[in-house]
Amino acid sequence: MEDTSNSTTLPPRRDWSSYTPDMLRLICGWLPLADVPRFAAVCRHWSSCAFPVYPADTTAVLLSTVVTGNGSSVRCYHPCLHKMFVLATPPQTRLPQGSRVFSAAADGCLMLRTTRKTVLFAPLLDDGGSVFETLQREDDQGFMCSAPLQHDDDDSHCSHHKVFAVYPELDAIKIQSWDGRSWRSFHKSANFFKTSFSCNPVMHRGKLYCLGQEGNLGVYDPGKIKWRVLPKPASFGSEFQYKNCYLVESQGELLAALTGGNSGMSAIHVLRLNEKKMKWQKMESLGGRTLFTGTASSLSMARPPQSMANKVFLPRFYGRPQVIHAELASSGGRLFFVAKEAMPKKDEDGGGGAWCYDLDSDFHRPFAGASCKNLLQHVWVHLGRVASARNDLMVIG
């Protein structure tokens, strides 16, 4: 007979779905944020114990330039998710009233122009560092833009950025530049140059390019402290109808997006500057890229989510996006929106989406006549470094 005197009775195996909600929430809280959606996908029971996580780095977002309340929150619209996130600033970051956001760094730091004629660098992450404020400028006029300091390219701290304030007149140009330590002013009479009222200057190969309303270009060289209006190109061409024109730096090229023709919702044209011939040439396709155009800034993404590829987005949406109070969190080198309160069982999104134009199919959304909300007081920014090429949108609702 078999001897069973030393045998032990094993406890019954427990199915993973039998874990208590408290235990599952504890496990979920220890996971990297990128894995939380996968945790929720296991089964309905696990999904009920996960917290809502949304990627903040898969696309540019429309961030409000206006500081709300007591300077403790900012709002941003996610064009791919059609959600409006209200971001609480960290305790050490209280943005002064009257400040206006004009840009953001790749680590979640905001750049604001203040009523004190200074520029403020403020982190949206708890571990993003302290608030930094520049010295006073001569005045608080002009377009504002920024670019990383060349010797600090590997340092993500947001104060390591050059800041430019460009104030063009018909026969003169005023430029103020911050080099990380002090402001430098440049003022010179120039050839007649009527700058586009809807377009910020952009950095291209170390120089600051300003777009004229007709399609000509003015260039400021910070190294040589020199401004000139280029003889070519003289215009975009008589075949294009537009009301607004935006300049974008994309993959080493200068692009111009022409919007708002006579019909208001007509086709959007994207032109590329042929720098050998110094001539604007129409692009039939963006090659998978996405452009985001707006009065305060215009951006380009080389590897957007597939649903956003080959499209031009404007600072508008239609419908009613869900409003989510969230905080910005870093995990695994990426940034995420983490909801601060439980989401309802059913998404309260009122439908709609971001207004965009598909360059490949000559189609714009929504159709002409649809009601759009124009976010004039918002600016396109990248809050985080762009995610990998797969760009999977991870959402728990």
Phi, psi of 28 (to 5 degrees): -60, -35
pLDDT confidence bin for 154, thresholds 50/70/90 = very low
Among the ranges 1-5, 122-126, 243-247, 375-379, which has the highest mean pLDDT value? 243-247
Written as one string, the DSSP assignment of 101-146 is: EEEE-TTSEEEEE-TTS-EEEEESSTTS---EE-PPPS-S-SEEEE
**Contact at 8 Å (CB) between 121 and 109?**
yes
**Contact at 8 Å (CB) between 349 and 83?**
yes
> What's the chain's average pLDDT?
82
Sign of CA dihedral 184, 176, 76, 46: negative
**Three-state DSSP class for 86?**
strand
Spatial neighbors of 187 by CB under 8 A, at least 6 apart, are 172, 173, 174, 175
pLDDT score of 118: 93
- The model's pLDDT over 72-109, given as tens digits with 9 standing for 90+, comes to 788 999 998 999 999 888 877 778 888 888 888 877 88
Written as one string, the DSSP assignment of 260-303 is: --TTSS---EEEEEETTTTEEEE-S--TT-EEE--SS--EEESS
Residue 10 CA to its chain's centroid (Å): 56
- The model's pLDDT over 176-233, given as tens digits with 9 standing for 90+, comes to 999 888 999 998 876 778 888 778 899 999 999 999 888 999 999 998 999 998 999 9
pLDDT confidence bin for 161, thresholds 50/70/90 = confident
**Contact at 8 Å (CB) between 212 and 231?**
no
User: Token digits for 307?
Assistant: 């649903």
pLDDT confidence bin for 61, thresholds 50/70/90 = very high
- The model's pLDDT over 121-130, given as tens digits with 9 standing for 90+, comes to 988 887 767 8
Range scoring the smallest mean pLDDT among 149-163, 343-357, 376-390: 149-163
Range scoring the smallest mean pLDDT among 11-20, 172-181, 237-246: 11-20
**Contact at 8 Å (CB) between 219 and 227?**
yes
Residue 152 has pLDDT above 70, yes or no: no
pLDDT score of 211: 93
Share of the chain above pLDDT 70, in %: 82
pLDDT score of 391: 42
